[in-house]
Amino acid sequence: MSATLNPVADTTGSRLKGLKCRECGSRYDHAPVHVCEVCFGPLEVEYDYDAIGRTLDRATIEAREPTMWRYAELLPLDSVPEKALPIGYTPLIKADRLAKRLGLRELYVKSDHVCHPTLSFKDRVVAMAVARARDFGFDTFACASTGNLANAVAAAAAALGMKAYVFIPHDLEDQKIYGTLVYGAKVVKIKGTYDEVNRLCAEIGDKYNWGFANVNLRPYYAEGSKTYAFEIAEQLGWRTPDHVVSPMAGGSLINKIRKAWKELELLGLLEAPTQTKFHGAQAEGCAPIVEAVRAGRELIKPVKQPNTIARSLAIGNPADGFYAARCIRETGGFGAAPNDDEIREAMLLLAETEGIFTETAGGVTVAATRKLIEEGHINRDESVVICVTGQGLKTMDAVVPALETPQIISPNLSEFDALTKE
Ligand SMILES: *Cc1c(COP(=O)(O)O)cnc(C)c1O
Ligand SMILES: [Zn+2]
């Protein structure tokens, strides 16, 4: 299925300016680069919001297909790709039963555990990176991954007929590895942590001239996360919540949620200025950003040996950690880092109250929300959005220890009767 419209090329061809350094403001033409040559700061895509604002309004967006491509003007591509998969526009679920258990009045779950095609929000970022990889002429699309990115990269490459190479820490969940191999991607397990995988990938990218979604294509990749937040605002009637709780791995998503809502505000698309408090969630066994926030320090101390069931979030040295901590601090949010038992418990709580089965990262976010409420960082009378970013079937082994063992009986009514009497 492809999107029926091509709004970007038609209306605002000049809206994309190029790349700009977040620190020193140096500008670059579009290219597969992610670090500033002058100051080593991260590069970001720069837009001409005046040009975008001249053509983009709510009615235009609302009339489009319910996919992430409805926000095409705010994405870092010249046009909607010819083969644009129907990614995103996942449900925002009003979670009243969970709200009651957490003691909240107004709670929503943004549910990317059902994002097409690989059941995590990584399909959104990969859609940007793979389109740019094609533009830049790479024949191989690759990534360093904690699991979900691997799935998304492999599926996107398959759909476009590109070669895919995926590099992962050797001890990832089997479900995520199989869910990458099925698409025909080459998977390389590295005996090391994610940070070591990432470092190796930077060298491979240079030497082999491959497009790495989250390395040399990172400025484009990261922009895809904004669509998750555009959808939340639209689904809330063009408003933003009082609080959002986001999982953090490299720290990119939480920053892009903020950027997305600021963009909508700048373009006059929101009902009221956004005043959302941003809260960050990490697992206790790998919480470099949350630790910095809770200690009130700017410096992110890398975690050398992450140790948690939340593998998808286990990045010891987060690329955007500094900015994630700043986003939390500036908006008046906070951070929490539940342990593995609390994560498992929260996965089951969400499943049992709302029928939503999320992976460990979602357990981290729900458990962190609970802590933030108990600590008074989230007011019970204010609106909250919990970011669920991945699918529970991919981390099944993590919850097995907390599940009941099913009973076995013969196909015989009296044995069932006996069972119900116990
Ligand atoms: C990658 C990932 C995140 C966090 O992403 P960052 O942008 O690196 O912080 C959150 N949830 C899931 C399920 C992920 O796979
Ligand atoms: Zn710079």
Domain contains 37: yes
Domain contains 410: no
**DSSP one-letter code for 20:** E
Which of the pair, 6 or 166, is modelled with greater confidence?
166
Q: Which CATH number goes with the domain that contains 155?
A: 3.40.50.1100
Domain shared by 148 and 211, yes or no: yes
Boundary residue ending a domain (171, 200, 221): 221
Segments forming the whole domain that contains residue 54: 3-65
Question: Which one of the ligands is nearest to 26 CA?
Answer: 2
Give me the number of domains the chain comprises. 3
Q: Are 18 and 219 in contact (CB under 8 A)?
A: no
Listed residue (75, 53, 54) closest to 6, CA to CA:
75
Domain shared by 102 and 140, yes or no: no
Instruction: Tell whether ligand 1 has an atom less than 6 A from the beta carbon of residue 335.
Output: no
Domain contains 303: yes
Q: What is the pLDDT of residues 255-299, one digit of tens each?
A: 999 999 999 999 999 999 999 999 999 999 999 999 999 999 999
Q: What is the pLDDT of residues 58-68, one digit of tens each?
A: 999 999 999 99
Mutation pick for ligand 1 pocket among 120, 245, 259 (CB with most ligand atoms within 8 Å): 120
Residue nearest ligand 1's atom 8 by CA? 250
What element of type H or E holds 49? helix 49-55
Instruction: Tell whether ligand 1 has an atom less than 6 A from the beta carbon of residue 247.
Output: yes
Question: From the CB of residue 37, how many other CB atoms can be counted at a distance below 10 Å?
Answer: 11
Query: How many Å lie between the centroid of ligand 2 and the Cα of residue 20?
Result: 8
Q: What is the pLDDT of residues 341-369, one digit of tens each?
A: 999 999 999 999 999 999 999 999 999 99
Q: How is 361-402 classified by DSSP, letter by letter?
A: HHHHHHHHHHHHHHTTSS-TTSEEEEEE-BBGGGGHHHHGGG
Domain shared by 325 and 197, yes or no: no
pLDDT the model gives residue 14: 81
Domain contains 255: yes
Boundary residue ending a domain (191, 221, 251): 221
Q: Could you report how far apart the first and last alpha carbons of the chain are, in Å?
A: 53
pLDDT category at 7 given cuts 50, 70, 90 is very low
Percent of the chain whose predicted confidence (pLDDT) is above 70: 97
Instruction: Tell whether ligand 1 has an atom less than 6 A from the beta carbon of residue 81.
Output: no
Instruction: Tell whether ligand 1 has an atom less than 6 A from the beta carbon of residue 257.
Output: no
Boundary residue ending a domain (195, 221, 247): 221
Domain contains 284: yes
Listed residue (121, 118, 139) closest to 130, CA to CA:
139
Atom of ligand 1 nearest to the CA of 147: 15
pLDDT category at 13 given cuts 50, 70, 90 is low
Q: What is the pLDDT of residues 94-140, one digit of tens each?
A: 999 999 999 999 999 999 999 999 999 999 999 999 999 999 999 99
Domain contains 341: yes
Domain shared by 8 and 127, yes or no: no
Q: What is the pLDDT of residues 234-245, one digit of tens each?
A: 999 999 999 999
Query: How many Å lie between the centroid of ligand 2 and the Cα of residue 27?
Result: 8
Domain shared by 255 and 341, yes or no: yes
Domain shared by 132 and 212, yes or no: yes
